[in-house]
Amino acid sequence: MLNYIIKRLVASIVTLWVIATATFFLMHAIPGGPFDTEKPLPPQIKANLEEKFGLNKPLSEQYMMYMKNLLKGDLGPSLKYEGRTVNDIIAYSFPTSAKLGIVTVICSLLLGTYLGVTAALNQGKWQDQLVMVIATLGVTVPSFVLATFLIYVFAVKLSLLPAIGFEGPEYYVMPVMALGGYSLSFIARLTRSSLLDVIRQDYIRTAKAKGLSRNTVIYKHALRNALIPIVTYLGPLTAGILTGSFVIEKIFGIPGLGREFVTGIYNRDYSMIMGLTVFDSFLLITFNFIVDILYAIIDPRIKLEA
Amino acid sequence: MERLLEIKNLKTSFFTHVGEVKAVRGVSFHLDKGEALGIVGESGSGKSITMMSVMRLLADNGKIVDGEIWFNGRDLVKLSENEMQKIRGNEIGMIFQDPMTSLNPVLTIGDQLTEPLLKHKKMPKDKAIERAIEMLRLVGIPSPEKRIKQYPHEFSGGMRQRVMIAMALINEPKLLIADEPTTALDVTIQAQILELMKELKQKINTSIILITHDLGVVADVCNRINVMYGGLIVETGRTTDIFYNPKHPYTWGRLRSVPNPKTLVKERLKPIDGQPPDLLKPPAGCPFAPRCDYAMRVCMTHMPPLFEVGEQHKAACWLNHPDAPKVEAPVGRRHV
Ligand SMILES: Nc1ncnc2c1ncn2[C@@H]1O[C@H](COP(=O)(O)OP(=O)(O)O)[C@@H](O)[C@H]1O
Ligand SMILES: [Mg+2]
């Protein structure tokens, strides 16, 4: 177990390093720089700025500098926001994205499995058909369409919910629905098909032959097996949602990380792009790691061996 | 002897989009306390469905369309699902063909083994674990205290089938149904499992119904045998009747494809040519007639009744009619 964790840690660090390096050089390969504005800056000012952030040094030297700071967890100053570091910006906007993300993941996980189980246990009946319609819509309708639709209905027509901002529980409702629609539908479909597969297994027949009640058979014997594929999906899902969705944050005016990322790319804010990429990758790697451990807990056949 | 199970004219069908599959088409037999009954027949003959009807564990599209199943004084066909749950795993235990897939992979052996005790006997958890360990020891699993905490994948096929037997017998049921319990196992393990079942039958004082497609397996364990074909019992009798004086051409065919049970020497396996009947449209006459070397005109049009051919021996074949031509059985182990 300890061996496994150490190996995973080493692999994670290597992965992070590869991602950081690739991003660094790709980013610099894109034409244009952070100080190319519509109205060109006077050459002297631009030179001073580049001097200040070390952009005039050879690329290899910049790379070494960046890596050295990265090792210390220092993501550097933002090139665009005066006097703010990338660490500050993440510390400010990540909690917002994370709060929204956690609520979304929990809601779509609970509701998704509930809908999936209901559909599977009523296979072919109206409950099943209803869930399948919802789930199909959920995976096909893009989140911005869903968001716009929700705003139109709940904010404009019914005036029930605030359309913009992120200040209290009522501000969560629509972003969570828009952000979680896809994963909820995906989880519902996955749970349904997985559970339908599991209840045909021999060990379910064994459980019934022991005289166990229907609920014990479903919730103790079947569901745990049926959830194994869902756990696999949980890692990328959580990381993806926690790091914020640009579209959703933009539409609902939520000051989250997703918004910063896109603004950073647009501005060629090198250190922001680097910092957020490294941070997102870090989250993804961490959650996949957690999921692998969860996986081994839920399925005893999985051995955590490198 | 006291009667434990009496099945009268059981008919079970599956309702599919192509029509009604008549899997069991009027089966009657009985089992006395302390007996071991074998049900033999080729794949698809309705052996499992007959016993799954007794357990009332048919698939959603399956239904008992007619008949009675008297078990210990009650007609199981009439019981509610709740009442059936009190019988399953308590008064009737069941084990299945594939021990590799019959145990839940994510629950410990101890967890699965104690379930019938917790459910039916309302035993406290620690008592149940003690009893489970005792039961594992009884079925011959070494160091049960350690094994009880393990998961199914840590057991071999033979060991898993021992666990299944322990689980089915843990509440000392009056009846154990074993559906092809050795089919998926190696020959040497097969013999051990059969030996274990015989031994436990005495110790726990349970009756057994052993389903198999292999006559060789029942010879040693069962005192009576039902031979099934096309959803019907075509011959029934004491094991000695079936082996030494078979009266149905289908039984002859099956006996020819069995290794000698006494010597375990594999004779040349000779399968019976042809296809089993279509259960969507079962034939009016004897279901075996199209494959039978001795078929007469009457066999195609009229279903033969079960003719009494001995004290407890019956065969559903027109050859046993007093007016039928006398045919010498090509098999039977009279001279062994
Ligand atoms: N769920 C089902 N739907 C339709 N037909 C079924 C179903 N289960 C079993 N059958 C049919 O019932 C017949 C008897 O099956 P079974 O009792 O399992 O045979 P076996 O003698 O091999 O145990 C087979 O022809 C099988 O195809
Ligand atoms: Mg079968």
Task: For residue A155, give the CATH number of its domain.
Answer: 1.10.3720.10
Q: What is the pLDDT of residue B8?
A: 98
Ligand 1 cavity residues, CB under 6 Å: B 14, 16, 21, 23, 41, 43-49, 59, 61-62, 279
pLDDT band at B270 (very low <50, low <70, confident <90, very high): low
For residue A133, the CA-to-ligand 1 centroid distance in Å is 34
> Is the same domain home to B53 and B200?
yes
Residue A23 lies in domain? 1-306
> Is the same domain home to B55 and B159?
yes
CB atoms within 10 A of CB A83: 7
Mutate to test the interface with B, among A203, A223, A294 (most CBs of B within 10 A): A203
User: Would you say residue B329 lies in a domain?
Assistant: no
**Based on the structure, what is the number of domains in chain B?**
2
> Is the same domain home to B197 and B79?
yes
B88 touches chain A (CB under 8 A): yes
Residues contacting A32, CB < 8 A, separation 6+: A268
> Is the same domain home to B218 and B236?
no
End-to-end Cα separation, chain B, in angstroms: 31
ipTM: 0.91
A219 touches chain B (CB under 8 A): no
Bridge partners (DSSP) of residue B207 are B175
* pLDDT at residue A68 is higher than 50: yes
By CB neighbour count within 10 A (0-12 exposed, 13-18 middle, 19+ buried), where does A42 fall? exposed
> With contacts defined as CB-CB under 8 Å, which chain A residues touch B90?
211
For residue B284, the CA-to-ligand 1 centroid distance in Å is 20
Query: Residue for token digits 């072919």?
Result: A124
* pLDDT at residue B266 is higher than 70: no
Ligand 1 mutation target, pool B12, B21, B94, most atoms within 8 A of CB = B21
B119 touches chain A (CB under 8 A): yes
> With contacts defined as CB-CB under 8 Å, which chain A residues touch B164?
206
B107 and A221 within 8 Å at the Cβ level: the answer is: yes
- Ligand 2 ion: Cβ-proximal residues, 5 Å cutoff: B 48
Q: What is the mean pLDDT of residues A165-183?
A: 88
Residue B80's SS3 state is coil
* pLDDT at residue A243 is higher than 80: no
Q: What is the pLDDT of residue A196?
A: 96
Residue B85 lies in domain? 3-222
> Is the same domain home to B123 and B197?
yes
Give B296-327 pLDDT, tens digit per residue: 999 999 999 999 999 999 999 999 999 888 88
> Is the same domain home to B35 and B89?
yes
d(CA B1, CA A119): 50
Q: Is the four-CA dihedral A201, A205, A206, A208 of positive or negative sign?
A: positive
User: Would you say residue B327 lies in a domain?
Assistant: no
Q: What is the pLDDT of residue A306?
A: 54
> Is the same domain home to B90 and B239?
no
> Is the same domain home to B205 and B234?
no
> Is the same domain home to B132 and B25?
yes
> With contacts defined as CB-CB under 8 Å, which chain A residues touch B94?
209
User: Would you say residue B147 lies in a domain?
Assistant: yes
Indicate the residue among B167, B195, B222 that finishes a domain: B222
Q: What is the mean pLDDT of residues B249-275?
A: 70
A209 and B103 within 8 Å at the Cβ level: the answer is: no
Give B136-156 pLDDT, tens digit per residue: 999 999 999 999 999 999 999
With contact defined as beta carbons under 8 Å apart, do B133 and B144 qualify? Answer: yes
> With contacts defined as CB-CB under 8 Å, which chain B residues touch A202?
96, 98, 101-102
d(CA B177, CA B210): 6
Indicate the Cα dihedral angle A252, A254, A259, A263, nearest 10°. 90
Closest listed ligand to the CA of B58: 1
> Is the same domain home to B126 and B260?
no
User: Would you say residue B328 lies in a domain?
Assistant: no
The CATH number assigned to the domain holding B78 equals 3.40.50.300
Q: What is the pLDDT of residue B320?
A: 93
**Residue A280 distance to chain B (closest CA, Å):** 33
Q: What is the pLDDT of residue B334?
A: 47
> Is the same domain home to B130 and B10?
yes
Sheet holding B3-16, edge to edge: B19-32, B3-16, B62-71, B74-75
Q: What is the pLDDT of residue B336?
A: 38
With contact defined as beta carbons under 8 Å apart, do B289 and B300 qualify? Answer: yes
User: Would you say residue B334 lies in a domain?
Assistant: no
Interface A–B counts its CB contacts (< 8 A) at: 74
With contact defined as beta carbons under 8 Å apart, do A219 and A207 qualify? Answer: no
> Is the same domain home to B74 and B187?
yes
Closest listed ligand to the CA of B43: 1
| Whole-number percent of chain B with pLDDT over 90 | 82
pTM (predicted TM-score): 0.85
User: Would you say residue B262 lies in a domain?
Assistant: yes
Q: What is the pLDDT of residue B258?
A: 64
User: Would you say residue B333 lies in a domain?
Assistant: no
User: Would you say residue B330 lies in a domain?
Assistant: no
pLDDT band at B176 (very low <50, low <70, confident <90, very high): very high
For residue A275, the CA-to-ligand 2 centroid distance in Å is 62
**Residue A229 distance to chain B (closest CA, Å):** 14
**Based on the structure, what is the number of domains in chain A?**
1
Phi, psi of A209 (to 5 degrees): -65, -15
**Residue A296 distance to chain B (closest CA, Å):** 10
